[in-house]
Amino acid sequence: MKWLLLLGLVALSECIMYKVPLIRKKSLRRTLSERGLLKDFLKKHNLNPARKYFPQWKAPTLVDEQPLENYLDMEYFGTIGIGTPAQDFTVLFDTGSSNLWVPSVYCSSLACTNHNRFNPEDSSTYQSTSETVSITYGISSLPDIVFTINGVQYPVPPSAYILLVSQDLFSVYLSADDQSGSVVIFGGIDSSYYTGSLNWVPVTVEGYWQITVDSITMNGEAIACAEGCQAIVDTGTSLLTGPTSPIANIQSDIGASENSDGDMVVSCSAISSLPDIVFTIH
């Protein structure tokens, strides 16, 4: 059985590890809201964050359509190098996706030309597969926004990756800081990011990093997941996604109200007086 480490992740000093600092940036949701475009966007697109985890089956194809709203709330990004010598790209490390893609010099749209593009002629290790692969991110109305995805979906990692690190695991620490402090670590866990002992929980369904949550409580009372439920650990979103009824219960219990964009929000002045929402995971 495979196991997933729950905690802002980690490193043993004797291990060979690679740390990638993460920077927190504005989410697409916030960007659209500041531009006054969010309300119209949500009207035009049937936004369902859970759709990412329940894709409709399709016959195998070299065309992969990814709804852009899957990435409406991503915030944490890191830099990777591709090719020899390395060409740098800022990517989203997404445990809810298995794809790694970046724009290339063969993409001439405004979204691509405003970002780093991979040039295969500048890489001595590049090899062409002679195959055409298309990834469509579904929405053409946002020409100046492009996303680069580095998928780390279950299982992890391939044998080539294991040769570079001491342990076949990765860990993630996401800071609440507006800019820095977050990190993804390949090959280990760093004890400076946590106190106490670690709690390992089994992956219940191989495909996503899926685990069992025993309960979600507030003031000692169950407000969701009273009899246990399944959850997916997804670094690709800043939101907690769940069934409508339990989420509505939580929103009601914390006194959330709907704003002009249709989001449920709580006054910043009330946050300090709210009780803890406790997720029990054994």
Is the previous residue joined to 157 through a cis bond, with omega within 30 degrees of 0? yes
Instruction: Determine which one of 88, 122, 234, 276 is catalytic.
Output: 234
To the query of whether residue 234 is one of the catalytic residues in this protein, the response is yes
**Which of the following is catalytic: 40, 94, 144, 276?**
94
**One-letter identity of residue 133:** V
What is the DSSP code string of 143-196? TT----EEE-PSS---HHHHTTSSSS-EEEE--SSSSS-EEEEES--BGGG--S
Q: C-alpha angle 162/194/166, rounded to 5°?
A: 15
Beta carbons within 10 angstroms of residue 275's beta carbon? 12
Q: Known catalytic residue: 261?
A: no
Q: Which of 67, 54, 72, 66 is nearest to 133 (CA)?
A: 66
Expressed in angstroms, the distance from the first to the final Cα of the chain is 16
- CB contact at 8 A, 188 and 20: no
C-alpha pair distances (Å), 280 with each of 156, 201, 231: 25, 12, 12
Annotated catalytic sites, by residue? 94, 234
